[in-house]
A and B are shown apart, each in its own frame.
Chain A
């Protein structure tokens, strides 16, 4: 069961961005996303400004742009939607390369494309420089309800265990000649998922029993991280402050 745990979205490193306390990074990322979303869609320069801030963070973190580009592919379905909108929008139209496009539709498409891409790049930056474990720690220190962080912690640990269980069950099916290439053969797979659910449920009960035996009473113990100084907060929030300034200028103008 040694497989797994290679975090798809995390890129190990020792930069200032990597070392920054996770709670500061979470707040900064959230602030930047809020700024992006609050920017009027016609403030084209502001969006360029946000991107510049992000690129600066990537440079400090030492992560190449193409690393983000490869992971940004997940956004494609939304891009398609954004590209279709100029053709489908109503209202005033304008000619472009011999096509007649809707002004409103174009702006709506641009809005989705720009804000979606920037929001996703911010999330990728956070995930790329923070391990899943640290993300949960950060949420815990930000006083997110204990139930949420507990569930997330357990998920992090047991997803791999359950995946390994599913893999073993699949191997056992294949070993007995199961070859699910045709639709009418999915029955066994479906029943396997049912069994997996029951097994996971039973494991959940055993895990809970083991936790209770070690004094668990509903809340995870405080991991007790080093207190974050005001200077660290200020330093870590620089990207957020820049984004806020860009938004302020955009709204002012």
Chain B
């Protein structure tokens, strides 16, 4: 799928299909009282790759946990490919929203890579699990490690396996929490190549601004539980004052391409 996001967006709108992700006026306070989200609005069209930027404590992770219904009980509305996130269709929502967590050691818990990748599809009861596992491992270039323990893999390999565990469920939207954290430069580039090659709708939570620039044509800046800015990543990252006001900055020596 070599489509640019603009093209997919246009065709999606023309066909009148539901957005891949729709978040409306989402507000949430944790049980112990701290309000994390104050009315977040976000719309992601099929095929788009969107970066969610923001400093620590901005509410990014809280937002992610709402997308697949792990957190709920606040106000607002979330839809994934037209299906509202609520108790009744939680299972289907969790299949549609593939969350790749920050630490692969939290995500990979089965004794072998193949079994871990099969965990999601088996839970969701999708047909032909074995073929899905093969396809997912091939997509991330980890086929030859299928029978190894995740313990024996490098950090970058683990990250790619974690991605495969979610891909195997064939999600409508991939949600990546800090995908580049703790990766060496080569592993970081390899992951970027894999992600770009997938051609899937993607929401990438990060404060790695160069990575956002490389992977996502569009960015959303979140701080203090609201959307501050939403636009082309290049323009957003060129606004130094805006970044500085929200504790974000480009790394030393980095120039926007």
Contacts and interface: CB of A to CB of B under 8 A. Distances in A.
B237 to A, nearest CB: 30
Interface stretch (B41-49, B112-120, B221-229): B112-120
Interface stretch (A44-52, A67-75, A201-209): A201-209
Given A157-B110, A158-B109, A212-B70, A5 B151 contact: yes
Contacts of A206: 101, 103, 106
Contacts of B101: 206, 209-210, 213
A209 B105 CA distance: 12
A221 B124 CA distance: 10
A5 B111 CA distance: 11
Q: How large is the interface on A (under 10, 10 to 19, 20 to 34, 35 or more residues)?
A: 20 to 34
Nearest to A134: B111
A206 B108 CA distance: 11
Interface residues of B, number: 32
A215 B94 contact: yes
A133 B111 contact: yes
Contacts of A133: 111-112
Contacts of A211: 109, 119
B103 A223 contact: no
B176 to A, nearest CB: 13
Tell me what chain A mostly uses at the interface: helix, strand, loop, or mixed: helix
A151 to B, nearest CB: 12
Nearest to A213: B99
Given A5-B151, A157-B109, A210-B101, A223 B115 contact: yes
A4 interface: yes
A207 B116 CA distance: 13
Given A214-B123, A217-B123, A221-B119, A207 B166 contact: no
B151 A4 contact: yes
B151 A203 contact: no
A156 interface: yes
Contacts of B62: none
A1 interface: yes
A4 B152 CA distance: 9
A245 B99 CA distance: 57
Interface in A89-124: none
Given A133-B111, A153-B111, A215 B106 contact: no
A5 to B, nearest CB: 6
Given A2-B151, A160-B151, A221-B118, A210 B106 contact: yes
B233 interface: no
Interface string A63-94: 00000000000000000000000000000000
Interface in A139-172: 153-154, 156-158, 160-161
B123 A209 contact: no
Contacts of A5: 149, 151-152
Nearest to A154: B109
Nearest to B122: A221
A22 B166 CA distance: 30
Contact of A209 (B70, B122, B124): B70
Contacts of B165: 214
Nearest to B165: A214
Contacts of A223: 115
Contacts of B118: 221
Contacts of A212: 70, 94
B240 interface: no
Contacts of A157: 108-111, 150-151
6 contacts: A153-B111, A154-B109, A157-B150, A207-B107, A213-B94, A213-B97
Interface of B: 65, 68, 70, 91, 94-95, 97, 99, 101, 103, 105-112, 115, 118-120, 122-124, 149-152, 165-166, 169
